[in-house]
Amino acid sequence: MKKKLRDFIFQELIFVAEPGQFSDDDDLLEAGLDSMGIMRLIMFIENEYGVTLPDTEIEPSNVQSLNALEQWILRHKKG
């Protein structure tokens, strides 16, 4: 899951010289993920993983890092 998220984020939303240097806990917001990027990311996640991420939960703690994103998705994934 994190590889797909990482690939999408660094190919479509954030342009950094060396994405491989970016850890799963590094701050995506500081790296340049903005509100438009967050909306595109949420649409990607909902389409890719078949989950609905509530608008009321769009907050920094859920989109701050790859680890935070993964946990947010897993909380809403139907198991």
Q: What is the pLDDT of residues 30-59, one digit of tens each?
A: 999 999 999 999 999 999 999 999 999 999
Complete domains list, the chain, with CATH: 1-6+28-79 (1.10.1200.10)
Confidence (pTM): 0.91
- Measured at the alpha carbon of residue 45, what is the angle toward residues 41 and 48, in degrees to the nearest 5? 130
Cα radius of gyration (the chain): 12
Dig out the tokens for 10 from the structure. Answer: 């660094």
In this model, does residue 79 exceed pLDDT 70?
Answer: no
